[in-house]
Structure 1
Amino acid sequence: MAERPTTSWRHGIAEEAEELAAGTLGPECACMAGLLPEELLTATDEVLDIFEGELPGLGEATDEKVLSVVERVVLALNTVDEAHNGAAFETDEREELCNYIDQSLTEHGVDVVALTARHGLGRYQLTDKWRKW
């Protein structure tokens, strides 16, 4: 199963804290906890919980149904981003979220390549129509 980005983000924060405590990382180099505060991680997890709940059966669903699920998760992530002054997700985090959406759909039987092609999109443009982050 695709790993949630928030899982790897939390792991990175924990590793950074361990390195700080061990003295192998200077405070001036520690940034993850500041970039990814717990309230952001929790809000993102809440969005992903809903998204994951909508995944079963999408492999047999219409394009419109699949795209509707994608639209909802992207708009919800837009709301999380807006609550953090439009700076919730940096480039790496945006890519991880997009990959997670793609992988999750694929794991539930959606042919993302075919879906996007049918709608005149490139493989990695699935979220672009709605995404502000």
Structure 2
Amino acid sequence: MAERPTTSWRRGVAQEADALAAGTLDPDCVCMAELFPEEMLVATDAVLDAFEAALPPLAEAEDARIFVVVERVVLALNAVNEVHGGGAFETGEREELCTYIDESLTEHRVDVMALTARHGLGRYELTDRWRKW
């Protein structure tokens, strides 16, 4: 199963906190909790919960239905990003989210490469139409 980006982000926050508590990290080098505040992680998880709930019927769905689900998750992530000043998802996080969307669809038997090709898109352009992050 595709790992949610929020899982690895939380792991990074926890590892940094542990290193700080152990005295192996200079307090001036702490950044993870600032990059990934709990409020942003909770909001992102809520978006991903809704996305995951919409995945099971997509294996047999028409392209238009799949695109509706992708659009919905991307627009909701746009909203999370906007609430956090447009900086919730930087380059690395964007790539992780796009990979997660792709892998999750693939795990639910959506052929993302064929889907995007049928619509004149490259595989990694699936979210581009709606994505502002």
Q: Does the TM-score normalized on the shorter chain lie above 0.5?
A: yes
Instruction: State the partner residue of 2:110.
Output: 110
Instruction: State the partner residue of 2:87.
Output: 87
Structure 2: where are the runs of 5+ without partners?
none
Instruction: State the partner residue of 1:27.
Output: 27
In angstroms, what is the RMSD of aligned CA positions? 0.6
1:79-106 Cα offsets, whole Å, 9 max, x none, are: 0011011111111111100000000000
Instruction: State the partner residue of 1:43.
Output: 43
The structural deviation recorded for 1:28 is 1.6
Instruction: State the partner residue of 2:124.
Output: 124
The structural deviation recorded for 1:2 is 0.5
The structural deviation recorded for 1:25 is 1.1
What TM-score do the two structures reach when normalised by structure 1?
Answer: 0.98
Q: Aligned runs of 1:52-91 on 2, under 5 Å?
A: 52-91=52-91
User: Which stretch shifts more, 18-27 or 33-42?
Assistant: 18-27
Q: Distance in 1 between matches of 2:14 and 2:120?
A: 41
Q: Distance in 2 between matches of 1:88 and 1:36?
A: 8
Q: Distance in 1 between matches of 2:25 and 2:116?
A: 43
Structure 1: where are the runs of 5+ without partners?
none
Q: Distance in 1 between matches of 2:128 and 2:37?
A: 25
Q: Which aligned runs of 4 or more in structure 1 are off by greater than 4 angstroms?
A: none
What TM-score do the two structures reach when normalised by structure 2?
Answer: 0.98
1:10-58 Cα offsets, whole Å, 9 max, x none, are: 0010000011111111112111100110000000000000000000021
